[in-house]
Chain A
Amino acid sequence: MATTQANDAVAPDEQKLAQLKEFIAQTRQDEHPDSFLIAVLHRAQELYGYLPVPVMDEVAEAMGIPTAHIWGVATFYHYFNLTPPGQHVISICLGTACYVRGAGQILQTLKDELKIDVGQVTEDGLFSLQPARCLGACGLAPVVMIDDKIHGDLTPKKMVQILNQYRKQAKK
C-alpha cells in the first residue's frame, strides 16, 4: 500500500510566502493562535494550489508547531492536496442536489476515464480531481467545475466529451 510521500522540495515562491507569513502574523494576535492551523494551511493551499513540504516547514517554524503535527492534520483532511495539482483542476460537486441527480455516476466516469482517485493527479499531469460541496449552481445539477468554468447538466457521455476537448486543446 502506498502512503503519500513527501512531495518535492523546491524552494517556495517568495512573494506568496510573504503573503502567507502576513496571514500567520495576523493569527498570532489571537488568544489561541494554534487553533488557526487549518485556516493557515487553507491559505497556503490557495496560494500554491497544494501544500509543498517547504511551505509546511515554514508554517511549522512560524507557528511553533512541530512538523509531524502539521503532517497529521494535512493528511487527515481530504481537501488538502499534498501533490502539485494538474494543469486543470476538476472539482466535482457532491452536494445534495448534484448527488440526487447522478453526481455519483459522473464521479465514477471521471475516475475511470482519468484513472485516478479524488485527491490525485493524472499521470500526464493534465488533470487533478477534487471533491466539492455545493457550487451554487444546483439548477444545473449535476455539475463540475474545471478551473473557473462550470459545466452543468452532465451525463457520463457529456463528461467524456468535455474531457476530450481539454485534451485536444493541450495537444495543440
Chain B
Amino acid sequence: MDSNKITITINDQQYKVDPGQTVMQAADKCGYRIPRLCYHPKLSIEGACRVCIVQIEGVRNYVASCAYPVADGMKIYTNTKELRRARRDIVELLLDNHPMDCHTCDRDGNCELQRLAYSMGIRQRHFEGERKHYEKDLSSTSVIRDPDKCILCGRCVRMCSEIQGVHCLTQAHRGFNTVVMPAYNLPFAESVCTACGQCINVCPTASFVEKNYTQDLFEKLNDPDLITVAQVAPSVRAAIGEGFGLPPGRNMEGQIAATLRHMGFNYVFDTQFSADLTIMEEASEFLERVQSKGPLPLITSCSSAWMKYMEQFYPDLIENISTAKSPMSMASAMIKTYFAEKIKVDPKKILSVAFMCCTAKKYEAARPELEVRGMRTTDIVITTRELVWMAKSAGIDFVNIKPEKFDEPLGLSSGAGAIFGVTGGVMEAAIRTAYELYTGETLIDIELNDIRGFKGVKEAKVMLDGQELRLAVAHGLGNAHQVLEMVRKDRSRFHFVEVMGCPGGCIGGGGQPYPLVNSIPLDEECLKLRAQALYGLDREKTIRRSHENPDVQRLYREFLGRPLSEKSHELLHTHYKAKLPRGIVSPELKIV
C-alpha cells in the first residue's frame, strides 16, 4: 500500500493519512469536523480564534488544529471534556462582546456564530459588562459594515487582499478597540472598495451584509401606476435553490419566472437575452479592433466590480476596455426604450428591476454614465440572497411552484448567453460569434475547453482566418492583477482578455446564497456544480450562438439597425474614467 502515509490516532482510533497537512485537514478526511471560525481553505491561516483547538499527547498546551501539522505517531484528541469546556469558553467570550440581536438580524438562521454557539451547547447568556458600539457604515451603494457584529476573525480582510487584491480593509487599532475598516476609517463609498461583496460571502456573521432594497421593491410592486419589469441573471438560476435547502447546481429559471409573477411583476425578462446582445456588440467591437489595429487587447467590461477596480487600480488600461455595457445595463436600456415604445408607455412609468448574483451591480445601476436619454435604466438591483428572502417572506412555495417561461421580446436566449455566468464564458461566447461573423463559416467545435475550469488564469489560442489570436481569462481580482501586469508589460501579448471580478465568475458573486450547513463559502465543489448547471443549459439549447438568437435579430432589424450602429452606440455603449482614491497594486499576491 501507500508507503509514504503516516499513522495518527484521533480519539484512540488509528488512521493512515498523508503527511504535509494540518491536523484539521487530516481530521476532516477521517470524518471529524473540528469546530472552526477564522480558518478558510482559500485564505492564509490566521490562527486567531482558537475555536479549533485540540489536545495532542505530549504537547502541554492546546494547539490550534488549523495551523498545526500532523506527524507520524501523533495522538490527537478532539472532544475531551476539558477541550469542550475550553472551546465553549472561547465562544462565550466572543458572545460577551456581541449584541443579542439574533431574531432581528440579517443572518438569523444563516449565521456561523449562531451555529457555533448552538453546537457548543451555549444556552444562556450571563454577561452584562461593557460591549463595543460603533456606527454602521451605510455610505456604500452595495456593502454595509456593522462593526458591532464583528468577531475579528479576519476572513474579510484576507479575502479582500489575498483573493481580490483590493486591500480595502484592515484591522485597525488593537485589543478591545480593534475594528475592521478601510484606510483612514473612510466611509466605504470613498474607499477603494469595488463593491464585489466577497467580504459578505466569507463573513461568518452579519458584520458585512449587502445594502438591502427588498422593502423598497415590495412597496413599489404595490404601486398600480408602475409597470414592473424584471430581468434575471444567468447565475441566479444556478444558485438560488441552495437558499431553499436544495443541493447546488439545479437550474431554477422556471421557478424564478413563476415566483416573480406571483410577486406581482408585469413582465419577466432574461438577462441571458441581453448577454447575447452584449456578445453581438462586443464581438463586433473586437473584430473592428483586430482589423483596424485598434487598441488591443480588448478587455471585457461586463463585471461591475472589475470596472470599479479598473478605474482605481488600472486607469492606464481604459482605452483597452470594451465600451459595450454589461448585459444588465443593456437589458435595462432596451426595457426603457425599445420595449417602452413597443408597449406604448412612458418609460418613466417603468420600474426596471434586476435580479443579480452580484452586489457590485447595485453600484453599476447607480452610475451616471450608464443613463440613457437622461434616465436611470436599472432602478433596483436585488441579489440572489435578497430574492430568496423575498420569496419566503411573500409566502411563495419556490421549490414546488410550477415553472414558467420568460416573456418576449427580451426573454429568449442562446446557450452562449447562459455561460456568461461562468469564468471563461464571455470569451467563449464572443469567440463563437466573432469567428462566424468574420469567416462566414460555422465553428464546429464550439466548446473552448482551455478557458473552462477554475484555474486562476487561463490562456488559449484560436486561429481566425490564418491569424493566431491569443486569449486570456482571469477570475477574482487578484488573478486579474496577474494578467493585467502582463498586459502592462507587453500590450501585444494578448488580443482579448476576459476579467470577472469574482472567484469562479458570476456564479461565485457577492450576492449568492450563504453556504449550507457544514459547507464553506466559495467551496469549489459548489462552484463547479453551479457552473455545470449553466453549461448544461447551453448544451440543451438548439441555438448556441448569440447571433442566431431570433429575438436579437429582430431587435436589430426593428430598432438598432446593426451592431455598433449609431443607435447602438447611444444606448448600448459607454466610457469609463479614472477614479480616486487611487488603488495600490501590491506585488505579493498569491495565485489561486
Binding site for B on A (CB under 8 A): 1, 3-6, 53, 56-57, 60-61, 64-72, 75-76
The residue that B179 contacts in the complex, of A3, A53, A70, with Cβ under 8 A, is: A3
Given A3-B181, A75-B172, A75-B173; A66-B133 close (CB under 8 Å): no
Query: Chain B at the A interface: mostly helix, strand, loop or mixed?
Result: loop
When each residue 181-204 of chain B gets 1 if its CB lies under 8 Å from chain A and 0 otherwise, what string results? 111111000001000000000000
Binding site for A on B (CB under 8 A): 132-134, 161, 167-174, 177, 179, 181-186, 192, 581-587
The residue that B170 contacts in the complex, of A53, A60, A61, A68, with Cβ under 8 A, is: A68
CB closest residue in chain B, given A78? B174
| Cβ-defined contact, B183 with A70, below 8 A | yes
Give the CA-CA distance A128 to B583 in the complex, in Å.
Answer: 33
| Cβ-defined contact, B185 with A68, below 8 A | no
B147 to chain A, nearest CB (A): 8
Give the CA-CA distance A71 to B328 in the complex, in Å.
Answer: 36
Given A1-B133, A1-B134; A67-B173 close (CB under 8 Å): no
Give the CA-CA distance A70 to B581 in the complex, in Å.
Answer: 15
CB closest residue in chain A, given B172? A75
CB closest residue in chain B, given A63? B584
The residue that B171 contacts in the complex, of A1, A4, A57, A72, with Cβ under 8 A, is: A72
User: What are 25 pairs between A and B in contact, CB < 8 Å?
Assistant: A1-B133, A1-B177, A3-B172, A3-B179, A4-B185, A6-B184, A6-B185, A53-B184, A61-B584, A64-B584, A64-B587, A65-B584, A66-B167, A66-B183, A66-B192, A67-B183, A67-B184, A67-B584, A68-B168, A70-B183, A71-B181, A72-B171, A75-B173, A75-B174, A76-B172
| Cβ-defined contact, B167 with A68, below 8 A | yes
| Cβ-defined contact, A6 with B181, below 8 A | no
CB closest residue in chain B, given A75? B172
Give the CA-CA distance A65 to B583 in the complex, in Å.
Answer: 10
| Cβ-defined contact, A65 with B586, below 8 A | yes
Q: A57 — which chain B residues lie within 8 A by C-beta?
A: 581
The residue that B132 contacts in the complex, of A1, A60, A68, with Cβ under 8 A, is: A1
Q: B161 — which chain A residues lie within 8 A by C-beta?
A: 66, 68
Give the CA-CA distance A61 to B186 in the complex, in Å.
Answer: 18
Across the A-B interface, give the 8 residue pairs with the lowest CB-CB distance, nearest first: A66-B167, A6-B184, A72-B170, A67-B183, A68-B170, A75-B172, A71-B183, A68-B183
| Cβ-defined contact, B169 with A68, below 8 A | yes
Q: A56 — which chain B residues lie within 8 A by C-beta?
A: 183-184
Q: A61 — which chain B residues lie within 8 A by C-beta?
A: 582, 584
CB closest residue in chain A, given B131? A1
Give the CA-CA distance A81 to B186 in the complex, in Å.
Answer: 17
CB closest residue in chain A, given B148? A1
Give the CA-CA distance A132 to B550 in the complex, in Å.
Answer: 77
| Cβ-defined contact, B167 with A71, below 8 A | no
Give the CA-CA distance A57 to B192 in the complex, in Å.
Answer: 13
Q: B169 — which chain A residues lie within 8 A by C-beta?
A: 68
Given A66-B167, A68-B182; A76-B586 close (CB under 8 Å): no
Q: A76 — which chain B residues lie within 8 A by C-beta?
A: 172-174
Q: B174 — which chain A residues lie within 8 A by C-beta?
A: 75-76
Give the CA-CA distance A82 to B345 in the complex, in Å.
Answer: 57
B484 to chain A, nearest CB (A): 15
CB closest residue in chain A, given B186? A6
CB closest residue in chain B, given A9? B184
Given A3-B179, A66-B167, A76-B174; A71-B586 close (CB under 8 Å): no
Q: A75 — which chain B residues lie within 8 A by C-beta?
A: 172-174
Q: B170 — which chain A residues lie within 8 A by C-beta?
A: 68-69, 71-72
CB closest residue in chain B, given A82? B184
B195 to chain A, nearest CB (A): 16
Q: A3 — which chain B residues lie within 8 A by C-beta?
A: 134, 172-173, 177, 179, 181, 185
B176 to chain A, nearest CB (A): 10
Given A3-B185, A6-B185; A67-B586 close (CB under 8 Å): no
A56 to chain B, nearest CB (A): 8
Give the CA-CA distance A94 to B183 in the complex, in Å.
Answer: 31
